[in-house]
Amino acid sequence: MEFRQLSSDHIDQVMGLEKELFGKEAWSKKNMLSEFVAPNSFYVGVFEGDLLGYAGLRLLPADLSGDITTIGVAKQHQGRGIGRALVQELVSRAKRSGAEQLFLEVKKSNESAIYLYESFGFEKIDIRKNYYQPSGEDAIVMRLTIHQPVVLGIESSCDETGVGIVRGNRLLANALHSSMDEHAKYGGVVPEVAARAHLEALSPTLDRALSEAGITIDQVDAIAVANGPGLAGALMVGIGAAKGLAVATGKPIYAVNHLVAHVGADVLERGAVETPTIALLVSGGHTSLLLVRDLLEDVELLGETIDDAAGEAFDKVARVLGLPYPGGPQIDRLAQSGNPSAIRFPRGLTLPKDLEEHKYDFSFSGLKTAVARYVEKAEAEGVEISKADVAASFREAVIDVLLTKALWACEEHNVKRLLLGGGVVANARLREEAKRRCDALGIELRIPRFALCTDNGAMVASLGAQLIMDGRELSGLSFGANSTLPVTQIQTL
């Protein structure tokens, strides 16, 4: 016996069985075909040369639920455990997708099927009178409650100490402490200061997360932690805490990639990350363009910054303009009253000669220098400049390059989705321009809520939960911090 996912190739075999089993109540071929290709549908057949049985599942990711839509086993093969194997297949598929509840309807007279479902833990919850037509038979509605893993995630890759808790794809808590104020006097994140701040913040942030989720540590099923990329010393603090917790409580631990977790955060918004997607991650530490074909399996780095990160460029230019750290919000505010086309600042790595090697890479140091020159020259010549125009023109240059390259990637890889993440997403002009350009190209734009865009523990917990739901191995205790962990390494064992 062999399981195969059903497609239009199998339609004649499926319709043959469907008619044999359901007679007048059989679905039409057209309906069956549309079910096979519907989004979030999963139809599977059992073969032994011929098709012996089939079953279907429709998932509703945003509701964290699913429906078993049909199940049938050829009469001469009933009693061989094929129905049980099909239900098992659908239940495990639903579990892996993060569903918390699974529903089905069954004929009231079909006692053996009801017994089978009960053996999986389905309960009778309702009755639908005259549900089956034309027979007029009643349907029993049954529900399976699925316990998804409760995962606590720790993130400490930069200046945020994040502890998040999820149950499957559901967000339970997202506690955060930021040491940003401590870095302000240095004009940027100082690794040693960040590491020390994590040490102080971890325990109280953990307590806050547990109380926000309304659970105790005993109710957590597993620990997840970001082991890179990021600042090595800062990562080590989170990793040490996660390992300590795992050892003290006997819970399994999962080491996950911080950047891939940013993409996975969208699961917490709508129950699934739709793939393939291009992801643009822009923060004070990273500017990365990813092609995500499968969140747990296949993430490719298309390009990244070869010098400053986008947020870092905002911070440095703010300094040039005499504005405090962090510069992003300051420049954003000043830019509101400026003219974005007043000064034509350079767009790094967009010239034809750059495109061969650096089509999807970014460079912001030339832009930063251009702004500094512009300001210095004006000062030397005693010319009054509009700082608002400088801020607006600078902001426009950054946004233009980021979105131009992200949308090139969508076009080249024929991907109709773009996901944004990272602290620079706070920039309203970036969001507005992304929306405008994506709409014009028919590309779906996803921007998770801001608390899930910046570094946070919930996204780490969520990626850990997805690994667990997918049945992945746990990580062991020998992994360490890897400041340059590649995005291809989604989990470190």
State the residues that interact with ligand ADP by CB under 6 A: 158-160, 189, 283-285, 311-312, 314-315, 326-329, 332, 422-424, 426-427, 454-455
| Six-digit token string for 395 | 């902001």
From the list ligand ADP, Mg ion, none, partner contacted by residue 105 (C-beta under 5 to 8 A by kind): none
Taking the complex as a whole, the smallest distance from the CB of residue 188 to ligand ADP amounts, in Å, to 8
Q: Would you say 62 or 184 has its CB closer to Mg ion?
A: 184
CB of 240 to ligand ADP, least distance (A): 20
SS3 394: helix
- Compute φ and ψ for 226, nearest 5 degrees: -80, 125
Residue (16 or 324) nearer to ligand ADP, CB: 324
What are the backbone dihedrals phi and psi of residue 232, each rounded to the nearest 5 degrees, phi first? -55, -50
**Residue 41 DSSP SS3:** strand
Q: Are 83 and 70 in contact (CB under 8 A)?
A: no
Tokens of 272: 């699934």
Query: How far apart are the C-alpha atoms of 437 and 434, rounded to whole Å?
Result: 5
Angstrom distance (rounded) from CA 16 to CA 286: 55
Q: How far is the CB of 284 from ligand ADP (least distance, A)?
A: 2
Nearer to Mg ion, 311 or 340 (CB): 311
Q: How far is the CB of 367 from ligand ADP (least distance, A)?
A: 14
List Cα–Cα distances, 372 to 295, 314, 337, in angstroms. 40, 12, 20
Strand order of the β-sheet with 222-228 is 170-178, 160-167, 150-155, 222-228, 253-257, 491-492
CB of 324 to ligand ADP, least distance (A): 11
Q: Using CB distances below 5 to 8 A depending on partner kind, what does residue 265 bind out of Mg ion, ligand ADP, none?
A: none
* Nearer of residues 231 and 292 to ligand ADP, judged by Cβ: 231
Nearest alpha-carbon partner for 435 in 426, 444, 423, 425: 444
The one of Mg ion, ligand ADP, none whose footprint includes residue 426, by CB under 5 to 8 A per kind, is ligand ADP
- Are the C-beta atoms of 360 and 289 separated by less than 8 Å? yes
Instruction: Answer for the pair 463, 261: CB distance below 8 angstroms, yes or no.
Output: yes
Nearer to ligand ADP, 100 or 315 (CB): 315
329 interacts with, out of Mg ion, ligand ADP, none, CB within 5 to 8 A per kind: ligand ADP
Distance in Å, CB of 313 to ligand ADP, minimum: 8
Provide the 3-class DSSP secondary structure of residue 161.
strand
| In the complex, minimum distance from the CB of residue 491 to ligand ADP, in angstroms, rounded to a whole number | 21
67 binds, among ligand ADP, Mg ion, none (CB under 5 to 8 A by kind): none
Which CB, 191 or 329, lies closer to ligand ADP?
A: 329
For residue 25, what is the DSSP state? G
Tell me which of ligand ADP, Mg ion, none is bound by residue 328, counting a contact when its beta carbon lies within the kind-specific cut-off of 5 to 8 angstroms. ligand ADP
Among ligand ADP, Mg ion, none, the one that 38 touches (CB under a kind-dependent 5 to 8 A) is none
Least distance (Å) between residue 457 CB and Mg ion? 13
Least CB distance from residue 132 to ligand ADP, whole Å?
54
Question: Is 18 or 312 the residue whose CB approaches ligand ADP more closely?
Answer: 312
Q: How many residues does the chain have?
A: 493
Helix (H) or strand (E) holding 440: helix 428-441
How many Cα atoms are found within 13 Å in the side-chain-facing hemisphere of 421?
26
> Do you find a cis peptide bond into 134, omega within 30 degrees of 0?
yes
Closest to ligand ADP by CB, 213 or 334: 334
Q: Pick the closer one to Mg ion by CB: 160 or 308.
A: 160
Which own/partner pairs from 135-139 qualify as long-range (CB within 8 Å, at least 24 positions apart)? 135/24, 135/25, 137/107, 137/108, 137/109, 138/107, 138/108, 139/105, 139/106, 139/107, 139/108
Give the pairing type, strands 160-167 and 170-178. antiparallel
Smallest distance from the beta carbon of 160 to ligand ADP, in angstroms?
6
Strands annotated E in 130-286: 139-145, 150-155, 160-167, 170-178, 222-228, 253-257, 277-282
Q: Least distance from C-beta 206 to Mg ion, angstroms?
A: 19
Per partner kind, with CB cut-offs from 5 to 8 A, the member of ligand ADP, Mg ion, none near residue 424 is ligand ADP
Q: Is 171 helix (H, G, I), strand (E, B) or coil?
A: strand
CA atoms within 13 A on the CB side of 13: 19
Closest separation between CB of residue 409 and Mg ion, Å? Answer: 25
Which one, 102 or 158, has the nearer CB to Mg ion?
158
The helix or strand, by DSSP H or E, that contains position 158, with its residue range, turns out to be none
- Which position has the token pair 């998770």? 448
- By a kind-dependent CB cut-off of 5 to 8 A, residue 311 interacts, out of Mg ion, ligand ADP, none, with ligand ADP
Of Mg ion, ligand ADP, none, which one sits near residue 36, judging by CB under 5 to 8 A according to partner kind? none
Residue closer to ligand ADP (CB basis): 363 or 454: 454
**Which residues of this protein are in contact with Mg ion, per CB under 5 A?**
158-160
159 or 396, CB closer to Mg ion? Answer: 159
